[in-house]
Amino acid sequence: MRTFALLFTLLIALFSAPSWAVDCYQRVHGGPTDYTVTLPPFMVPVDAPLGSKIWESRDINITVYCDNAQSWSSVHPSESLFAWLMLSATNNADVLDNPYFTFGVTYNGVDYTGADIGIPTGACLDKKNSGGVFEPICNGVTPQLNTSFNARFRLFIQLKAIPADLDEHLDFGEINVVQFDGQGGANLMDGAKNLRFNIDGLDNITFLDCSVDISLEPQNQVVDFGVLSRRELQNTPATQSFRLSATKDLAAGCTQTFEVETSFYDNDGALYDATHLDMGNGLLLRIADDTTHNDARFNEYQAFETFVAGMEESFTHDYTAELTKNPSQEIAVGPFSKTVTIKINYH
């Protein structure tokens, strides 16, 4: 009888379900917990350096709402929230360990590759203690029973090797990029209420037999506004021009027609709106494409030019960078700068 009782207790310990502590939704309590974006096909230049990024998605910005922190203990009276990236349990092995590409995630401006990475979001939830009381552990002032925060990320692909057969069909299916959960790890049980972000559409990757060279004028890649007057900026924008050129390398063959997209990317994510960057000193930056007569939409890819097979082509776009006063802030005196990265995609 004693042996049976001990065995029965052991089976209860082995098969009891784990206790997961957090629910996360998109935007609000009860909101979606599964978010999928289908991406368009893209092309990879065969002369791209191994290890380089050969594709990036657009910026993804979502609001995450979390609540229902459970399993209080004196050791864990609160729950820190994490973004769990590229989970091995929810992705096909071909995605995480294939011979040609490394898949990664840029989360809040930092690149990550590899599986099962937990990134602190800075958000926190208080738990109800054994007496049924919520203690203000997270902020030390008021109990935090729910919280909302912004998540900003991109999927990117780095090149490991070029396939021997450039016509080989590659299909990676749906990729689970990120799941929002507690510090104990990602809840993979059926019925879990944990927001997952997926990307689909990576089933039509083709290789391009040439590429373009990108050049920027001024050659030092600095758009210098010089000394500005705060009084004048109250009513009059400050402007400076620059040029971006893309030239096709005909020597590489170039038997295919392809399109190039460009993106003006702000690593800080300090957007005032889609076409203005917040400089952090009471000024806003806008970049106008004087060639297409459109404003650049920061952190988004926009059409640059189409390159036709067999033709020697070079395209140049003229841009104007414009500084205006932020209507909700006063202009601060002193030097300032903003780094904007120009990224390209082929398709």
Rounded CA-CA distance 192/22 in Å is: 9
Answer for the pair 254, 295: CB distance below 8 angstroms, yes or no. Answer: no
pLDDT at 317: 97
For tokens 């070029």, what's the residue?
Answer: 162
All domains of the chain in start order, with CATH: 18-207 (2.60.40), 212-346 (2.60.40.1090)
Answer for the pair 182, 21: CB distance below 8 angstroms, yes or no. Answer: yes
208 exposure class (CB count in 10 Å sphere: 0-12, 13-18, 19+): buried
Rounded CA-CA distance 36/24 in Å is: 16
pLDDT at 259: 92
CA dihedral over 272, 277, 305, 240, signed as positive or negative: positive
50 exposure class (CB count in 10 Å sphere: 0-12, 13-18, 19+): exposed
pLDDT at 109: 83
What the block records as the tokens of 297 is 């939409």
Q: Which amino acid is at 108?
A: N
For tokens 């400076």, what's the residue?
Answer: 240
pLDDT at 50: 92
Rounded CA-CA distance 121/118 in Å is: 9
Rounded CA-CA distance 272/287 in Å is: 13
SS3 per-residue string spanning 261-280: EEEEEECCCCEEECCEEECC
pLDDT at 7: 40
What the block records as the tokens of 165 is 């057969």
User: Across the strands, what pairs with 176?
Assistant: 198
Which residues of the chain, if any, have pLDDT below 50? 1-19
Closest CA to 285 of 299, 271, 267: 271
pLDDT at 19: 46
How do 42-45 and 205-208 pair as beta strands?
A: parallel
Specify the DSSP class assigned to residue 42. Answer: E
What the block records as the tokens of 213 is 């060279």
Alpha-carbon distances of 265 from 65, 73, 221, rounded to whole Å: 26, 44, 15
Specify the DSSP class assigned to residue 229. Answer: -
pLDDT at 252: 64
Helices (H), 118-258: 230-233
Rounded CA-CA distance 165/94 in Å is: 18
SS3 per-residue string spanning 101-132: EEEEEEECCEEEECCCEEEEEEEEEECECCCC
